[in-house]
């Protein structure tokens, strides 16, 4: 069954489209002074800056308890922790899906205010764990074109972005394929293409390797390794983390409990055990 969003395409045809990272040493038991501002001492604005972010669900559960972090342009960072640590809740705050206006979050120097929300949603490319939550149009082309169309871009730019994004994820030539007929690995690639088409400042992926067979997982690792995009990736796949991400952030009970070089943190067995993690 087609989702409501598909209706937007029912009345449209293709001819009527409108329009040098520093090493990060471990930080344990994060303190409030960990991050003071969104600009580094060298005057460089962080791609993602979160300062003392807090969130409580309506049932009273405190999902985020003073989360602070900064990610520089070009970094690829893994976000790990046990179930219920607050990882997904944090990710859904980064473009206002949860929490709404939240000035504790800055993307490329822009605070998450009501005025900036549309722009920030284009700058934060959020990719869900289940690609079927992200692919709702009849064809691959229409799925990837949806974001640029929403941005009000001209048809020539939309077509160029779709072609470039599909090529980046190894799906060139799939534009006319039906999204729901693709394999899970192909769907995940197209889901990534849907956000790449908006030229985001950062890709935020939730469990991208989940559900993939070994060949699909390897293809995904190669793809993410080659993409020249800043990334924050939530995962339980520690071998995936070890291979691809130089930096790792550990969350537990709504807090950042460690942030540093992946190799250093993975060598600390006591730290991993304390937070429900295992060495790959």
> 264: buried, middle or exposed (CB in 10 Å: 19+, 13-18, 0-12)?
middle
Residue-wise pLDDT tens for the chain (280 aa)? 333 333 233 333 333 333 332 333 333 333 333 334 455 445 578 999 999 999 999 999 999 999 999 999 999 999 999 999 999 999 999 988 887 777 899 999 999 998 998 899 899 999 999 999 999 999 999 999 999 998 899 999 999 999 999 999 999 999 999 999 999 999 999 999 999 999 999 999 999 999 999 999 999 999 999 999 999 999 999 999 999 999 999 999 999 999 999 999 999 999 999 999 999 9
Q: How far apart are CA 40 and CA 22, in angstroms?
A: 11
Residue with tokens 């992926």: 205
Q: Which long-range contacts (CB under 8 A, 24 or more apart) does 154-159 make?
A: 154/18, 154/19, 155/17, 155/18, 155/19, 158/17, 158/19, 159/17
């Amino acid at each position: 069954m087609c989702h409501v969003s598909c209706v937007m395409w029912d009345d449209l045809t293709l001819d009527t489209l409108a329009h040098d990272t520093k090493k990060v040493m471990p930080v344990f038991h994060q303190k409030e002074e960990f991050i003071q501002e969104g600009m580094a001492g060298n005057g460089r604005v962080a791609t993602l800056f979160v300062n003392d972010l807090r969130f409580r669900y309506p049932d009273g559960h405190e999902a985020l308890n003073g989360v602070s972090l900064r990610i520089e342009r070009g970094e690829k960072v893994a976000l790990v922790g046990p179930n219920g640590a607050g990882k997904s809740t944090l990710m859904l705050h980064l473009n206002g899906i949860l929490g709404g206006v939240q000035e504790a979050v800055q993307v490329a120097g822009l605070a998450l205010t009501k005025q900036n929300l549309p722009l920030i949603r284009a700058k934060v490319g959020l990719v869900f764990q289940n690609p079927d939550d992200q692919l709702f149009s009849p064809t691959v082309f229409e799925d990837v074109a949806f974001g640029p169309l929403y941005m009000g871009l001209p048809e020539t730019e939309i077509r160029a972005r779709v072609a470039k994004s599909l090529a980046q994820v190894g799906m060139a030539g799939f534009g006319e394929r039906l999204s729901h007929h693709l394999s899970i690995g192909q769907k995940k690639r197209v889901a990534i293409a849907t956000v790449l088409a908006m030229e985001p400042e950062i890709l935020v992926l939730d469990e991208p390797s989940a559900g993939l067979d070994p060949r699909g997982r390897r293809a995904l690792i190669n793809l993410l390794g080659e993409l020249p995009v800043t990334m924050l990736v939530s995962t339980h796949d520690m071998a995936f983390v070890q291979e691809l991400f130089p930096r790792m952030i550990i969350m537990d009970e709504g807090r950042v409990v460690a942030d540093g070089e992946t190799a250093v943190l993975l060598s600390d067995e006591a730290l991993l055990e304390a937070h429900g993690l295992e060495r790959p």
